[in-house]
Structure 1
């Protein structure tokens, strides 16, 4: 006769203990490997023992369902934490990261395509539902009638005493088996609760700072930068360009020679360059938070902070350059839908993927290659306006998964509407394959950064060293928005990114040198790093009328 769970309630007990133990141990699995640090989650005997003492009833069924939901929530939290650790080098913060779920879903759809994304998400949902349903059935399959009361009490006592004392015991010279007992689920919940309380306090501090910032430029209209009144200014973010590309193997073997070449090419074109080191607000992603941190002068380290900032009267560099008399322009090829945040920033002109008249093929994740984006800076900013312009742009070619990597078009005059890139149509590996092949992405990362640097420096050589209709001179700041994910560049990479400042007027760069940047294309060491939120202060110290005391950056902890 076939074995039936319904005929073996004691097997229900054993299987319920096993399955629940596996689920509640998942917070340790991503970084501890298998077997995990602990073998037994002490929450399990306590939960199962309490259920075993309850007679069959509607309340017991509801409680079994709640236990299953709790276990699945722990699994999803552990998976989210593992993903956040891998991609951004930090722990999950449910207080702020919950707002990223729609962005994550959109990223999955963009990378895998709608059919494959639906299939994957559906499979994950069905697997979760089946696991939860099985656990509920197992938890409901035993009770006081068929479980010895002494066993149920033993489970309750062992779980309760263990939860209360295992940490104290394990710190001494206890038997080895004591170290295999733990409470990962309770620890995970406690950590997230404490993190939420700390984040809530940090958010309150950040909110007060938005409205109580007494720095001269923090008023809604900003403050002028008279030292740049007759200068076209370009702020360009290179996707995923961190100092790891310069300092870590195998990437530095390709990037360092490129930087040396660029330095010689800029000098031959009559341009000067200095380079610094900036500590970004994030690691591995969320580029827009670093853009906001740079322009606002505030540590915008989470989506919640971003929403508070963008909806407040606190000014940004866009307001500062408007006050200086510049036309303010945003060129954002990564924006493929409505962008109400752009209007809140207050740019005079906004150019996104749908309005840049790109007729060439998409380049993997990127809607258009960097060389085309930089050419549009010339078309929309430098040559179109008869007064100085401030242009902010974010390039895409070096975005994960770094495929395809294309070559530069030697003759910039042929870039046109982008059809010159048609012969790269369909190039690059399939996204679904790439995301499963970390080594392939690592191989592409260096060449992708190399291409992005060539595009930025090629634009500078072509357009900065000539008479500009809007301004007497030009100042170009190009920097990474964040380091790439730790899974690509290695553990503990830090958050520092290079900042290259290029100009046809060496006098415009003296203030940067006085503040720790150095000539050439190589950044100084970590001790010279400038917080990303300090960059607006730095520009005001160099080009504004305010004193360094008025613009000294302050920071706060929290997410």
Structure 2
């Protein structure tokens, strides 16, 4: 009896369509949901060819073999989903070691309770069991269909043809055929699995990786160009070049930038800007902090770990050696941070140590304006001529995903440093605006605008006149906000009342104002696409600008 007449052919066809759909899925950007693609999986063709050969020589495969094949297929399907989804939603490839370590923190940040996380894990396990059962059912249908000799011959011939088309090396010379092949055939999953295995091995056995990139020559520079000024390095969370490159985002933030510029000018301060390429995208801010503070490439999280276990110099240690009191102002640090010992701060003020006594707000508890008010009161407000100048590193929190809640801000810096910083009504109003992970861009722009607001208010108000402020975006926001295919660039602003210092930055390629010029950041092209200078390269630029020697043949951003 013909296969289709008995129903086995229809089951075979349906099973192949399901398996192919699972192995070729794309991403419904910017959501985590998959979407079907009109493509064919070469790996499915290879599996079918093997089954056809087995069926020809030994008959129908046994139950154990089908269960093993279903387990391998489940692994392939999960790898395909993670490969396309993480890249699309977060704008970067998956790193199983680091992403796995921080998955629970991300869920807690999203407001998930321990019970909700446990329920989600159970639901995920049940979903995996259901998916495995469906895949096994499909392979059982395929095996039943291949028992029919005519179906076996047709599928074997089709699989061979597909594999030849997929992997024939000479076909790459035919541009039209290559274009068709790219559209019709799905990208194999095996290379993605091999890549993730290589990444995981590099994290577990770091001795097998390449050595760290060279450090800048800290010893060859002085800080004489600063003339003893306090320096505040603000890592502005998730402040990406999308706020400049995307016309809608640039327009939405134009009033906030204009207000900040006017405030700076009214206070006698100038600003110059550029852009650099962050070592991370959508998260893992510490990689960007380390890259700039140490001048070492930290795109590989393993390099970050090895850096912190080394005795490399840093901006912190350099400022300390040359007479600055160094402070790590870390209101987001809610647990022990032994890694901070690498930098050698004179003081590390964490969430408990900054002295905040006001009402807590959201996951991060301490709003940025209150953190800045306390920083000013404790470190910047009353420094005498005999006291050491300050070098302060302050990573902000307000624009961290999901970009809410945001507290109200009225510019009362004296009150923000007290236990009366916020009223219960303020907190209730902020919490009444829930985070929306599916429509995050409006909240993101609001959070960046709010940060520019309080920063401008501080610099036009209580800030010491000689204060040099560096504002550096640590990374782009995740891809649902920054946009599909966004660069890894971030803005950099230098704000100071010292015109000579700003002129040195201009000589090094910075442009005046808060919007980097169209060609800013690409003066030192590092690749075929003219990529911006990496953030680690900005460290040498800062060393050159902070020195008092003539600027000639120095690195440019």
TM-score by length of 1: 0.81
Residue equivalent to 2:275: 277
- Cα distance in 2, alignment partners of residues 384 and 63 from structure 1: 76
SS at match of 1:112: coil
Q: How does 1:232-311 map to 2 (within 5 A)?
A: 232-311=230-309
Residue equivalent to 2:329: 331
Q: 2:59 touches 2:147 (CA, 8 Å); kept in 1?
A: no
- What do residues 229-280 of structure 1 show as CA deviations (whole Å, max 9, x unaligned)? 6221110011122233244343333422222222222222232322222232
- State the 1:360 CA deviation: 3.5
How well do the aligned residues superpose, as a CA RMSD in angstroms? 4.0
Q: How does 1:414-429 map to 2 (within 5 A)?
A: 414-417=415-418, 419-422=420-423, 423-427=425-429
Residue equivalent to 1:22: 21
- Cα distance in 2, alignment partners of residues 55 and 145 from structure 1: 15
Residue equivalent to 1:460: 459
Unaligned runs of 5+ in 1: 1-6, 467-472, 555-559
- State the 1:81 CA deviation: 2.6
- What do residues 11-62 of structure 1 show as CA deviations (whole Å, max 9, x unaligned)? 87556434432321225777998541315642452354356468699x9544
Distance 1:26 1:552, change over 3 A: same
SS at match of 2:162: helix
- What do residues 494-519 of structure 1 show as CA deviations (whole Å, max 9, x unaligned)? 22222221223323322112112233
Counting matched residue pairs gives 527
- Cα distance in 1, alignment partners of residues 414 and 76 from structure 2: 56
The answer on 1:231 being equivalent to 2:235 is no
- Cα distance in 2, alignment partners of residues 165 and 346 from structure 1: 59
Residue equivalent to 1:409: 410
SS at match of 1:235: strand
- Cα distance in 2, alignment partners of residues 133 and 430 from structure 1: 43
- Cα distance in 1, alignment partners of residues 126 and 243 from structure 2: 41
- Cα distance in 2, alignment partners of residues 518 and 62 from structure 1: 67
- Cα distance in 2, alignment partners of residues 380 and 86 from structure 1: 43
Q: 2:411 touches 2:454 (CA, 8 Å); kept in 1?
A: no
Residue equivalent to 2:348: 350
Residue equivalent to 1:542: 545
Q: How does 1:66-85 map to 2 (within 5 A)?
A: 66-85=68-87
- State the 1:535 CA deviation: 1.6
Unaligned runs of 5+ in 2: 1-5, 523-532
Aligned with residue 535 of structure 2, among 529, 532, 548: 532
Distance 1:60 1:272, change over 3 A: same
Q: 1:20 touches 1:44 (CA, 8 Å); kept in 2?
A: no
- Cα distance in 1, alignment partners of residues 139 and 63 from structure 2: 8
Q: 1:246 touches 1:252 (CA, 8 Å); kept in 2?
A: yes
SS at match of 2:129: helix
SS at match of 1:420: coil
Deviates more, 1:451-460 or 1:358-367: 358-367
Distance 1:414 1:172, change over 3 A: closer
Q: 1:56 touches 1:143 (CA, 8 Å); kept in 2?
A: no
Residue equivalent to 2:315: 317
Q: Which runs of 4+ in 1 moved over 6 A?
A: 7-12, 28-33, 54-57, 176-180, 194-206, 429-433, 545-551
Distance 1:484 1:172, change over 3 A: closer
